[in-house]
Structure 1
Amino acid sequence: MNLVRSELLKIRTTSTWWILALIYLPLWGITLFFNYLQSDALVNGNMAEAPEDQAATIEAVSQPEAVAANLFTNGQFFGLMMVMLLGIIVVTSEFFHQTVTTTFLTVPHRTAVMLAKLVAAAALGVLFWLVTTAANLLAGAAVLGGIGLDPSYSGAVWEAVGLNGLAYLLWAILGVGLGVLIRSQIGATVTGILLYLGGSIGAVIIISVLAERYGDWINKLQLAVPSLASSLMVTGTDGIPGNPPQWAGAAVLIGYALVAGVVGTLMVRRRDIS
């Protein structure tokens, strides 16, 4: 427990966390604005004008629980990237500030140090989710009232909110794994952002093109992309044609996080530290 507190203190005493928070705040607001426009179009738009091949999908995502789940998990895409960066910094800050040798001399059991970093990163991810969710509940209720929906929420909505918290926790662990793999703070940060944004956008384009050509079953391939798997976890409905169930996205993301945690721990134990 002392090791975990030590890792949290290292982050709290730097400017990194509030810089990331300041970057995320406008991104959260912009995402909320577009989610408001989308929600209003889904609830109050003319469904008759929807293309026939998209009618079932639009009907599924326009259900009140799906709209509420989307609003209450607002900002997930950029939020997960921020906690991934926090996870990276939990590891790479040691190498950047050249304190890693002191850390391992003080605590020679590297596995214990690595576990403390994983727990600290997970705690930061959960904290980030709690703050974001509190803001989403307030803003989401206002949006739901503004578009004419009664803000009464089913179990599916709270399930989406809970799975969103799990996604934040797991992405923080993934960040730790990436930080171990690429010890340079700048290199790991840039690589993480490029993989997250580029991988997500590229996967969406490729899967959409393939699904249009070969059928909706291709959409199940999104499970292989961590950012798309986490997005699937918070859809608020399992009725979208061609989409795998929410639990599948959670299972895949847990698998990625376990691999990242185990590989990261093994690499820290075997690498020479200078």
Structure 2
Amino acid sequence: MNLVRSEFLKIRTTNAWWLFALGAFGMLALTFFINAVGAHFTLTEAPPEGADPQVAATYNEVYQAANLYTSGQFFGLLFVLLLGIVVITSEFQHQTVTTTFLTTPHRTAVIVAKFVASALAGFGFWLFTTALNIPATIIFMSAEGFSNHLGDTAVIRAIGLNLLAYVLWGILGVGFGVLIRSQIGATVTAVVLYLIGTIAGAVFFTLIANWLDWEWFEDLQFGLPSIASGLMVSGTNIPGQPQYWVGAVVLVAWVVATGVIGTMITRTRDIS
């Protein structure tokens, strides 16, 4: 616990956390506005005749409610990822890692403390965004004349799994930062992979699946952690997509893999 408190002290005494929080707030406001506009039209209109089943499923009230309650997840997870990266790479950036490991020779304990601190920071980001999303969604749904669905199991599940996603992405950031020790290199690479990689991956798997007529191949896109996170918070099952729990399993697998690899590398790599 002393190590965890130390990591929190490092986070609190830098500008990174509130800059990321400010960015998450800005993107949350934008995302909620976009989701609310989309929900307004889908909730007040019937699905177009002959619409694709995946599109028609988004006209469901529960789906739209879950989407609104978890607004801002995509960019919120990115900021949590970056914060986790900074937690570990700042040690190398400012050359304090030697002092850290001399003070606490057990490197595994240090890395675990960083995992815990980043996970709790992820929880803080989730709490912040959810505290804004819940009243905003209740007001919007009431204004539209619909139930807020806050008592529905699917909606509560989406909010809970959103918490899990935020916590796991904080851990994932630390693991990623261990692999690329340069703070600039790690943050730039993470942003590119997260934003461009997500879009490129989804397009690639979809195009190949349509070209070769392999329906199963399109589902491989859910192996990407960012897309898996979105699957976790879907309020209803979308036809042709895996179940929500598949996203959770995929994300946990990514976190375990990066966490174990990151810890092993830190235990054996020269820090000089």
Residues 85 and 176 of structure 2 are in contact (CA less than 8 Å); yes or no, is this contact kept in structure 1? yes
Partner of 2:224: 225
> Shift of the alpha carbon at 1:138?
1.1
| Structure 2 counterpart SS, 1:173 | helix
Partner of 1:162: 160
Residues 216 and 241 of structure 1 are in contact (CA less than 8 Å); yes or no, is this contact kept in structure 2? no
Counterparts of 1:115 and 1:132, CA distance in 2: 26
Residues 118 and 173 of structure 1 are in contact (CA less than 8 Å); yes or no, is this contact kept in structure 2? yes
Q: How many residues align?
A: 270
Counterparts of 2:41 and 2:209, CA distance in 1: 25
Amino acid across the alignment from 2:13: T
Q: Which stretch of the first structure deviates more once superposed, 169-178 or 203-212?
A: 203-212
Distance 1:133 1:176, change over 3 A: same
1:129 matched to 2:119? The reply is no
Map Cα deviations across residues 61-81 of structure 1 (whole Å, 9 max, x no partner).
222211110000000000000
Amino acid across the alignment from 1:42: T
Partner of 2:236: 237
Residues 43 and 62 of structure 1 are in contact (CA less than 8 Å); yes or no, is this contact kept in structure 2? yes
Counterparts of 2:157 and 2:85, CA distance in 1: 28
1:42 matched to 2:39? The reply is no
Counterparts of 2:139 and 2:199, CA distance in 1: 30
Map Cα deviations across residues 147-205 of structure 1 (whole Å, 9 max, x no partner).
22111330110000000110111111111111001111111000000010011111222
1:141 matched to 2:119? The reply is no
Q: Give the TM-score of the pair, scaled to structure 1.
A: 0.95
Counterparts of 1:142 and 1:215, CA distance in 2: 43
Q: Could you list the structure 1 runs, at least 4 aligned residues long, displaced by more than 4 angstroms after superposition.
A: none
1:187 is aligned, of 182, 185, 192, to: 185
Residues 54 and 240 of structure 2 are in contact (CA less than 8 Å); yes or no, is this contact kept in structure 1? no
Amino acid across the alignment from 2:235: G
Residues 25 and 129 of structure 2 are in contact (CA less than 8 Å); yes or no, is this contact kept in structure 1? no
Residues 69 and 160 of structure 1 are in contact (CA less than 8 Å); yes or no, is this contact kept in structure 2? yes
1:102 is aligned, of 75, 94, 99, to: 99
> Shift of the alpha carbon at 1:211?
4.5
Counterparts of 2:30 and 2:217, CA distance in 1: 30
> Shift of the alpha carbon at 1:215?
5.9
Counterparts of 1:152 and 1:76, CA distance in 2: 19
Q: Give the TM-score of the pair, scaled to structure 2.
A: 0.95
Q: Which stretch of the first structure deviates more once superposed, 211-220 or 118-127?
A: 211-220
Where do 5+ consecutive residues of structure 2 fail to align?
none
Where do 5+ consecutive residues of structure 1 fail to align?
none
Partner of 1:87: 84
